[in-house]
Amino acid sequence: MDQLDLTEIASALPEKTSVKLVQPELSPEVEKYEIQEWTGLIPQDELDILMNPPTYISEVEDGSLDDQITSQLRTQKTSRDDPYQQALVSRKVIPEMNGKSFRIPGFIVPLDFTEGKTIKEFFLVPFFGACIHVPPPPPNQIIYVKYPKGLEYSNIYEPIWVAGTLKTGITKNDVATAAYSMEMEHFEIYVEPYPE
């Protein structure tokens, strides 16, 4: 979710231009839900591991041949013994999240939709391209969302707010595995808060 640099935009405007940037308001239905961060869905011990990757991760240049080949071999050999590799595919959840209502921003990976592009089931993921262009995030970073009414949403490149009650439990699909699920109650297009 790219953030606009509004200071840079404002400095490029003529001096006499008066600009007031206002944060668009969310609907009351969505705004009443507490905001949840994606990292709040990862057990603390695994979050600590992911935030402090092993040296073999930082020593390899991204995109290099060594990165592509070595990481695949290392993953195959060490995933059972390496806490970092285990955290990358973890299904561990935070049990206290079961039954908690909140809103969380994310990107849609459609699973069940009609010809008219009405989406009834999707994975909500923390970054664009997850499960489609790049490997899926850990299952504890994927929420399986059901919305029987159907969501008419044609721009999966844009994030949305999803609000509802979370449940813990594994949902498998050909695309990915989710460790959380939600029956969506409300949604809204995601808008970055403007700096004050």
Query: To the nearest whole number, what is the mean pLDDT of the chain?
Result: 77
Q: Rounded mean pLDDT of 175-194?
A: 85
DSSP E strand boundaries for 100-159: 101-113, 118-125, 143-152
Residue 148 burial class via C-beta count within 10 angstroms: exposed 0-12, middle 13-18, buried 19 and up: exposed
What pLDDT is recorded for position 131? 60
pTM of the model: 0.73
CB 107 within 8 A of CB 128: yes
* H or E segment and range at residue 184: strand 177-189
Which of 170 and 191 is assigned the larger pLDDT?
A: 170
Between 78 and 142, whose confidence is greater? 142
Rg (CA), the chain: 19
pLDDT > 90: percent of the chain? 34
Q: CATH 2.40.50.870 residue ranges in the chain?
A: 1-43+92-196
CA distance 185 to 151: 11
- Split at pLDDT 50, 70, 90, the class of 14 is very low
Query: 3-class DSSP state for residue 49?
Result: helix
Task: Return the CATH architecture of domain 1-43+92-196.
Answer: Beta Barrel (2.40)
pLDDT in tens, 35-56: 999 999 999 999 999 888 888 7
Q: Residue 143: pLDDT above 90?
A: yes
